[in-house]
Amino acid sequence: MPSLSSISTSLQAVLTQSQVMEIIQHNVANASTPGYRRQSAILTAAVPTTLGGSEFINRAGQRGGSVTIARVERFNLAFFDGRFRTISAEAKNWESQSEILNQLEATLAETSEDGLLPKLDQFWKGWQSLSSDPTNNSLRSVLLDDASSLATAFNRRAEQINLLRNDQNLSVSSQVDEVNSLADQVAKLNAEISHVLSVGEQPNDLMDKRDMALDQLANLTGAVSTEQKNGEMVVSIGGHVLVVGHDAFKLHTQTNTTAPNVGMSDIYWSDGQQMIPTSGSLKGTLEARDKILVGQLTGLNSLASELTSQVNTIHRSGFDMNDVAGKDFFTVTAGSEAGTIAVNTLLDAAGVVTSKNQFEPGNNMVALEMVALKNSKIAASPFNGDVTLNEYYNTQITSLAVSTQRAIDNTYQHGLVAKALSDQRESVAGVNLDEEAANMAKTQKAYQAAARMLTTMDELLDLVINRMGLTGR
């Protein structure tokens, strides 16, 4: 005769396999969800019961208690997570630099006819033409126009670099806000996860959300995370704690008042320490903003300053067409030479100096000195007698090209490694629809078998209750 325990065993099997099917359904539903980690039901035999009375006589041992879900396992490898975040953060660092440097190269346009070097060459060429015909007013006007074009090229480059720096400064503030938001999110998830674990449940979906936040924090700042025994994560950047337990220590920005970063935002912790990102896109942004762009602007200022000084010195040493001592050819404002260099507004075509001697308008000695300046080694720092004006700027542009290419190469190389680690992590933690289909078929068969057992128990009970003892019919 079927017992109540037999019915209970079958019913428990049906319920358990139904729960397993729900977990598989959850996996399939989230197969394309970013950051989702595959889950699996770990089945175990239920607690058996001791047999007594007549049952003990007929059978030895204990009665099985059916099947139950011991836990819902989340497929994840912390080792892969740590390696992936480290490499991905470095890839983001170089990616940020390469994007900014590509914008800078496009702004400078040194490979086109609008480059600064072609403008410099045209300026020297104007003096060369004037040296062959010092009294030609047309050549003088052309020279002034070339000089104005050269000054405008300096101005535009300085302006564009400053605009690019300001854009990156806004990006820094935006990224700091994002870091704070993610830190708050991790702290709140820490509280929820530790609570769920404390009552013996498994907060798999909450852990997925937290891991995504940790990935983003690593990409932004190179943040490192360590799991505690209670399931909470401690997050730090460069050795300084960002998140511990349920608390997040927020970052803020302060305006720098020291040259050359006046007006730029620096990042500080709540305790007053300056935050220096160890990796990630925030590091790349700061590296480009405060070093590479500053270096290019400083080089432009040095070139504009020395060009102005050398040209003005030679120009003041002679006399113009009106036999008046020469004026400054260029004007600049100290500290922002490239942004303010301009042809002297008091200078007209007749005021261009070519003659070394008064009352000799046909003399071309000053013009020849200007021509010779193109190939002169400049003694002042940072030229140090090693390069000409053209060579100095050419070296600066070459250095920029090398830095850009290095950033592009490192982005590619680190990106390849990050993708390989991501693929490995996905192979462990990602949802494989073919595998889920196989698990679904297996679970379906187990469910059908358990359901069939219930049907059989029902038929046996029907036989015992409704049909036993009825004879002669």
**Structure tokens, 20:** 């397993």
Stretch 188-216: mean pLDDT, rounded?
94
Domain ranges of the chain: 4-75+432-467, 82-419
d(CA 152, CA 39): 63
Structure confidence at residue 114 (pLDDT): 87
pLDDT over 80 (residue 64): no
pTM score, whole prediction: 0.86
CB burial of 405-414 (b: ≥16 within 10 Å; e: otherwise) equals eebbebbeeb
d(CA 16, CA 458): 20
Task: Return the residue matching tokens 């590619």.
Answer: 412
Structure confidence at residue 65 (pLDDT): 74
Structural contact between residues 406 and 93, judged by C-beta atoms closer than 8 angstroms: no
pLDDT band at 1, cuts 50/70/90?
very low
pLDDT over 50 (residue 275): yes
Q: Within 13 Å, how many C-alpha atoms sit on residue 15's CB side?
A: 11
Per-residue pLDDT reduced to its tens digit, 68-96: 888 899 988 777 888 999 999 999 999 99
d(CA 65, CA 8): 8
Per-residue pLDDT reduced to its tens digit, 220-258: 999 999 999 999 999 999 999 999 999 999 999 999 998
Structure confidence at residue 250 (pLDDT): 92
Please state which of the ranges 63-72, 298-307, 408-417 shows the lowest mean pLDDT: 63-72
pLDDT band at 12, cuts 50/70/90?
confident
